[in-house]
């Protein structure tokens, strides 16, 4: 998959951080996952990230993660890349998940910073290198210090870019200057991990996005980068602004995006199911508010 702007798009440019559908009893819903994946690809996603933060990776088993990859691969074939979330706070476990993801048919591995233990930068760098060395999968680093408690500092990212299998970054650092510094010094493919930054990062050279909100409106987010690529910068800005109310409602409501997305998908009759504890479902008032915002966007 090639990005006409940069020539560097190892996993596509319009990726969805897909939720993991469960049945009403809380079991993995592989049929629902396949139907949702097919809908997302038909709506304009050229990549799917499975078992990330939005995919409830902390509460799915290793076996479920592998089953999910295999099922989604069967559904989408080669129409979209599959990037598997394999990051944990344990290097050995992360390596094992990367190997399992490769065997199950993933195209890449999303590796988040080890959380809770907050390793220093040299240990963090060693962790990512060990994971990248362990399998043949290209690696997307996941920088989200608000959840992990540790930042992948720009200088560390620059050093990691020397590794032949570390090819991309999902950025949730909220450090716009730091991202531009890395972009100017490496060939890494950067993906906005926060929907409000999709266009802003794309405009300064990022490859695309890994979006939670794309679970709901994949076509509306795809239209933003398509407009920009066509030279319609004002139109791209207008489309990004039009999606802002939904982005804010999903991501800044005081609830995790997984909870809000699953609540709205369920209300729309789409595959989602419940969240797993310790998360709790969105209440009716929240879901009704989300649906009203969604319907305003779809009618615009």
Q: Which of 142, 190, 191, 294 is catalytic?
A: 142
Q: Dihedral of CA 116/119/120/124: which sign?
A: negative
8 A C-beta contact, residue 168 and residue 184: no
User: Of 115, 116, 170, 262, which one is the catalytic site residue?
Assistant: 170
- What gap in Å lies between CA 212 and CA 297, rounded to an integer? 16
Surface-to-core class of residue 234, CB atoms within 10 Å of its CB (0-12 exposed, 13-18 middle, 19+ buried): exposed
Active site residue 142: yes
Contact 105, 154 (CB under 8 A): no
Closest CA to 48 of 275, 210, 251: 210
- The closest alpha carbon to 18, from 61, 65, 87, belongs to 65
Q: How far apart are CA 15 and CA 40, in angstroms?
A: 9
User: What number of other Cβ atoms are within 10 A of residue 7's Cβ?
Assistant: 9
Is 65 assigned a catalytic role? no
Alpha helices in the chain (DSSP H): 30-42, 62-76, 91-104, 121-134, 145-148, 154-160, 176-185, 198-203, 218-229, 233-242, 244-251, 257-267, 284-299
Alpha-carbon distance of 140 to 2, in angstroms, equals 16
Residue 254, SS3 per DSSP: coil
HSE-up (13 A, CA, CB side) for residue 222: 18
Q: Which residues have a catalytic role annotated?
A: 142, 170
């Amino acid at each position: 998959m090639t990005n006409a702007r940069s020539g560097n798009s190892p996993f596509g440019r319009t990726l969805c951080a897909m939720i993991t559908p469960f049945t009403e009893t809380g079991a993995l819903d592989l049929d629902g996952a396949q139907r949702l994946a097919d809908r997302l690809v038909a709506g304009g996603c050229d990549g799917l990230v499975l078992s990330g933060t939005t995919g409830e990776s902390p509460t799915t088993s290793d076996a479920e993660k592998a089953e999910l990859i295999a099922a989604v691969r069967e559904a989408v074939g080669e129409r979209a890349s599959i990037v598997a979330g394999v990051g944990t706070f344990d290097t050995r476990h992360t390596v094992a998940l990367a190997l399992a993801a490769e065997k199950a048919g993933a195209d890449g591995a999303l590796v988040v910073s080890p959380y809770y233990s907050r390793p220093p930068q040299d240990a963090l760098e060693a962790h990512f290198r060990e994971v990248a060395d362990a399998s043949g999968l290209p690696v997307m680093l996941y920088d989200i210090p608000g959840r992990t408690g540790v930042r992948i500092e720009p200088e560390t990212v620059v050093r990691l870019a020397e590794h032949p299998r570390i090819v991309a970054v999902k950025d949730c650092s909220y450090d716009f200057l730091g991202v531009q510094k890395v972009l100017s010094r490496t060939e890494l493919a950067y993906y906005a991990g926060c929907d409000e930054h999709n266009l802003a990062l794309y405009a300064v050279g990022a490859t695309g996005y890994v979006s939670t909100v794309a679970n709901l409106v994949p076509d509306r987010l795809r239209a933003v980068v398509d407009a920009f690529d066509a030279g319609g910068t004002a139109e791209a800005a207008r489309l990004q602004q039009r999606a802002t109310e939904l982005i804010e409602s999903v991501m800044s409501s005081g609830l995790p995006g997984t909870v809000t997305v699953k609540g709205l998908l369920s209300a729309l009759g789409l595959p989602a199911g419940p969240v797993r504890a310790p998360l709790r479902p969105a209440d009716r008032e929240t879901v009704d508010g989300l649906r009203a915002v969604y319907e305003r966007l779809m009618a615009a």
